[in-house]
Structure 1
Amino acid sequence: MDKIECTDKIQELLFNIPLFKDLPSNIKQTLLEKLDCQFFHIGKKEVIARQNTPCKYLYVLLEGKLRTDIIDALGNEILIEYIEAPRTFATPHLFSADCTLPATFTVLEEGILLTATKESFFRLFAQEPGILRNFLRITGNCTHCTVKRLRMLSYKSIRSRITAYLMEHRQAGSDTVTMVHNQQQLAEYLGVTRPALSKEINKMAKENLIRLDTPKVHLLAPDLLQQFI
């Protein structure tokens, strides 16, 4: 990572993330003075933070894209999510009891990263209750997403994991899913091999449970699919 100066463009990106968005102008003007922070250019394949290391900073991805992986008890690498700017990440672990990161964050697309020390960010809470409210809301959303992710990985069969994914991503009031992952990414996300995933998807299509219309998947029998989850 290469340290860079904060520009007007970077400040604009910073104040568009949910944590700092809609703050009064007087708070925005002094925020960077109150935070002990640094800005970095991050390159592809760089590791920003590693699993099982202490979370010492508030992390804000201002530009770029990250991949989040965990190594499970069996030594398998499991894709958790893709993180796209602009947003904070790893927020639930900043003030947790042991402050240990549960995952490794790797750069997929180069961008800009802000890091701020935990101590300076904590002081900011006391001075600006609005930022504290935003932080608690973001942390709650992250926890909810983690619970959903772990629930999906708890399913034993590939079909159950595929079904859970489709149900989670189906459009409101519709039986159509617009895929956000290609097949390789989906296999990694579901913790299965690509050949096994492809085989099961084809079986589900032959059984008229789903119809493939890349990048869309149509759920032909939602009620029947529910029995797998």
Structure 2
Amino acid sequence: MVESRLLAGVGEGDLDRLAQMVGFSLRGCAQGERLLSRGDVGVWAGLVVEGRVRMEAADGLGQTAVIGWAAPGEVFAEAYAVLGDEPLMVDVVADTDGRVLWFDAARLLELSGDPVCAPVARNLSEILARRNVGLSRRALHTAPRTIRGKVMAYLTAAREARGVGEGEWFEVPVGRQQLADYLGVDRSALSRELGRMAREGLVAVAGRRFRIGG
């Protein structure tokens, strides 16, 4: 089984019983395959075992934007699975070939008093809480009206999260396209703005490494 925060604290001997209780279903997926669709109700949560999946949404003009990814060990659609009656607001697509472990998250929380399910239910609650914090963080990063403002909000928070001082180099976990998607801006426009900021001495850029203050 893939290493995952969801299954932390679960012994090998408890996995079979856990699987029976919450309906584990391991399925393969092909790159580009739609795993969940916008509007789906009563979905199960997925744990990525191999590969990567992405969450994407289309606007009224038919433009599609990637709003998130799930890598091996990460969970997706867990909030919708717990609520049960909330229509999915995004499409979930296999970004690569892989495997996903589906499970009944609502049932898991119902059985949180069981000694086998208890640690996994706690882990799922923590994942939901962290996801909520992440959404709040993204709202702060994307609140500025300009691309420059968004970039500085993101980079300042990233530097602080890594505990480095002003003028020191730090690395962000995403590439240029992923950063553009996260901030909700065009990649070319982001690259141009980063270039201007570098020329003005606001930042120094080397791939995924940045330094605020040039």
Note if 1:159 corresponds to 2:152: no
Alpha-carbon shift at residue 120 of structure 1 (Å): 4.1
Matched residues, number: 208
User: Aligned pair in 2 of structure 1 residues 180, 130: CA closer, same or farther (>3 Å)?
Assistant: closer
Alpha-carbon shift at residue 211 of structure 1 (Å): 1.1
The aligned runs of 1:163-202 (5 Å cut-off) are 163-170=152-159, 171-174=162-165, 175-202=168-195
Please say if residues 92 and 142 of structure 1, whose CA atoms lie closer than 8 Å, have aligned partners that are also in contact.
Answer: no
Alpha-carbon shift at residue 65 of structure 1 (Å): 1.0
SS in 2 for 1:164: helix
- Between the aligned partners of 1:25 and 1:38, the Cα distance in structure 2 is 17
Alpha-carbon shift at residue 52 of structure 1 (Å): 3.0
Alpha-carbon shift at residue 182 of structure 1 (Å): 3.0
Q: Percent identity?
A: 21
Alpha-carbon shift at residue 73 of structure 1 (Å): 6.3
Please say if residues 79 and 191 of structure 1, whose CA atoms lie closer than 8 Å, have aligned partners that are also in contact.
Answer: no
SS in 1 for 2:83: coil
Please say if residues 44 and 78 of structure 2, whose CA atoms lie closer than 8 Å, have aligned partners that are also in contact.
Answer: no
Alpha-carbon shift at residue 64 of structure 1 (Å): 0.9
User: Aligned pair in 2 of structure 1 residues 28, 194: CA closer, same or farther (>3 Å)?
Assistant: closer
Q: Give the aligned residue type for 1:20.
A: L
Counterpart for residue 198 of structure 2 = 205
Counterpart for residue 122 of structure 2 = 133
SS in 1 for 2:46: strand
Unaligned ranges ≥5, structure 1: 1-11, 222-229
Counterpart for residue 95 of structure 2 = 108
Q: Give the aligned residue type for 1:198.
A: S
- Between the aligned partners of 2:60 and 2:140, the Cα distance in structure 1 is 17
TM-score (norm 2): 0.84
Please say if residues 66 and 83 of structure 1, whose CA atoms lie closer than 8 Å, have aligned partners that are also in contact.
Answer: yes
Please say if residues 82 and 106 of structure 2, whose CA atoms lie closer than 8 Å, have aligned partners that are also in contact.
Answer: no
Unaligned ranges ≥5, structure 2: none
Please say if residues 54 and 66 of structure 2, whose CA atoms lie closer than 8 Å, have aligned partners that are also in contact.
Answer: yes
- CA RMSD for the aligned pairs? 2.4
Counterpart for residue 38 of structure 2 = 51
Alpha-carbon shift at residue 75 of structure 1 (Å): 5.5
Q: Give the aligned residue type for 2:199.
A: K
> Which one of the candidate residues 28, 44, 49 is aligned to 1:62?
49
Counterpart for residue 85 of structure 1 = 72
Q: Give the aligned residue type for 1:172.
A: G
Alpha-carbon shift at residue 191 of structure 1 (Å): 1.7
Q: Give the aligned residue type for 1:48.
A: L
